[in-house]
Amino acid sequence: MSNDFLPSDYEVPTSDGGYMKLKVGENKFRILSSAIVGWVGWKDKKPLRFKTEEEVKDINFGKSQYNATGKARHFWAFVVHNYKSNAIEILEITQKGLMQGIKTLADNEEWGNPIDYDLTISKEGSGKETKYSVVPSPKKPLNKDTKKTYEEMNVNLDALYDGENPFTETFDPDTSIDDVPA
């Protein structure tokens, strides 16, 4: 049966407006920045981020699909090169197991700073049955084009605390590395 609705080779774009979302399967990326850390809660389908737990201790965010407990969660956010979308994106994680896996690598003398190697997060299952694993790739230099593109973007992660766009006004977060002029 022929489907003329979409081209036969069409794939839904993997970029989510400059934010990397962990999908079921392997999610390979290179961390490009230091992490910012804090607390995130959701109100009216929008994230509210704070630098300290003290700032959120008395806030009830309400239970929703975004926030099952109504409480803020600890988060890390950092800039990554997402290999699947071939784009510079922000990855925010709240899963303690992922944080511990990345921190263990960063604290290890042989691995060190994860800016020096690629990481693959594998995701299996969904909901409360979701399982994650973190696997590092051997150290290698960052691709020169990726490095140049990232440096020219001037991403301001601290803007997340103010609910603002961390990407400069001149950068389109849906632009892939291939679309940036040399």
Mean pLDDT (whole number) for 49-62: 89
* pLDDT score recorded for residue 54: 92
Task: Pick the range with the lowest mean pLDDT from 6-15, 126-135, 146-155, 166-175.
Answer: 6-15
Task: Using the structure block, give the residue that is written with the tokens 């979701």.
Answer: 130
Alpha-carbon distance of 87 to 127, in angstroms, equals 27
Taking 60 as the threshold, does the pLDDT of residue 17 lie above it? Answer: yes
Taking 60 as the threshold, does the pLDDT of residue 106 lie above it? Answer: yes
Taking 50 as the threshold, does the pLDDT of residue 162 lie above it? Answer: yes
Q: pLDDT band at residue 35, thresholds of 50, 70 and 90?
A: very high
Query: Phi and psi dihedrals of 112, rounded to 5?
Result: 70, -150
Task: Pick the range with the lowest mean pLDDT from 71-75, 129-133, 171-175.
Answer: 171-175
Taking 50 as the threshold, does the pLDDT of residue 13 lie above it? Answer: no
Q: pLDDT band at residue 65, thresholds of 50, 70 and 90?
A: low
* pLDDT score recorded for residue 101: 96
Taking 90 as the threshold, does the pLDDT of residue 112 lie above it? Answer: yes
* pLDDT score recorded for residue 43: 84
Q: pLDDT band at residue 8, thresholds of 50, 70 and 90?
A: low
Taking 60 as the threshold, does the pLDDT of residue 104 lie above it? Answer: yes
* pLDDT score recorded for residue 171: 45
Q: Sort strands 36-43 and 87-93 into parallel, antiparallel or unpaired.
A: unpaired
Q: List, as one string, the DSSP characters of the chain.
A: ----SS-TT------BTTEE-PPSEEEEEEE-SPPEEEEEEEETTEEEEESSGGGTTT-----SSS-SSSS-EEEEEEEEEETTTTEEEEEEE--HHHHHHHHHHHHSTTT--GGGSEEEEEEES-GGG-EEEEEEPPP-PPPHHHHHHHHHH---GGGGGGT---S-TT--TT--GGGS--
Alpha-carbon distance of 116 to 119, in angstroms, equals 10
Taking 50 as the threshold, does the pLDDT of residue 182 lie above it? Answer: no
Mean pLDDT (whole number) for 67-85: 90
Taking 50 as the threshold, does the pLDDT of residue 15 lie above it? Answer: no
